[in-house]
Amino acid sequence: MVDRANPVIETRQLADRFADLVGRSRRVDIATAWVTKGRHLEIVKRGTEQGVRFRVLAGTHRNATDPQALTLLHGLDRCELRLVRGAATGIFHPKLYLFHLGRSHDRARQSIAWTGSANFTNGGFSSNEELMLEVGHGQESGGLIDWFEERGRTADLSRRLGS
């Protein structure tokens, strides 16, 4: 569990905290520059088997995203994968994780957000030195949710969300 007085998550805590939040979520949204295989994708797979829906915006610039990881995500029934190509002025480079916990109509009050340095990669979740800031329910996560929704509308759909 993350200490509310110190909402910083370090690499050694990421995978376990990710698994905990996935297990409590109805939906998880991820926007990341790169995706590779690792324990984090196994957590996604288990989450989909338990009814959690995932929406992933994944960058494809500079060949850092592993095609096998995209294939795994693409094959999951409860996962919507959208690919984001780099803009003319730069690359798609966010690291945003949104965990939608409740069924409330007030989505921000029922969401937890992470933002920081960890891509959705094996290195980001296990071997690199990364930091993520966890923000809880309320206004902070609302703006991040709005950004994800807007950016997701312009990304290329790879697979529709399964039932």
The answer to whether residue 1 sits within a structural domain is: no
User: Which domain, by its residues, includes 51?
Assistant: 8-157
User: Looking at residue 68, which CATH number applies to its domain?
Assistant: 3.30.870.10
Phi, then psi, of 4 in degrees rounded to 5:
-60, -30
Distance CA 49, CA 58 (A): 21
The answer to whether residue 162 sits within a structural domain is: no
Distance CA 162, CA 63 (A): 27
Task: Give whole-number Cα distances, 3 to 75, 77, 134, in Å.
Answer: 35, 34, 10
Q: What are the pLDDT digits (tens) for 28-74?
A: 999 999 999 999 999 999 999 999 999 999 998 777 899 999 999 99
**What is the value of pTM for the model shown?**
0.89
Q: What are the pLDDT digits (tens) for 101-139?
A: 976 555 556 889 999 999 999 999 999 999 999 998 665
86 DSSP assignment: P
Instruction: Return the percentage of the chain with pLDDT > 90, whole number.
Output: 65
The answer to whether residue 153 sits within a structural domain is: yes
Structurally, the chain folds into a number of domains equal to 1
The answer to whether residue 31 sits within a structural domain is: yes
51 DSSP assignment: T
pLDDT band at 153 (very low <50, low <70, confident <90, very high): confident
Between 15 and 104, the more confident residue is: 15
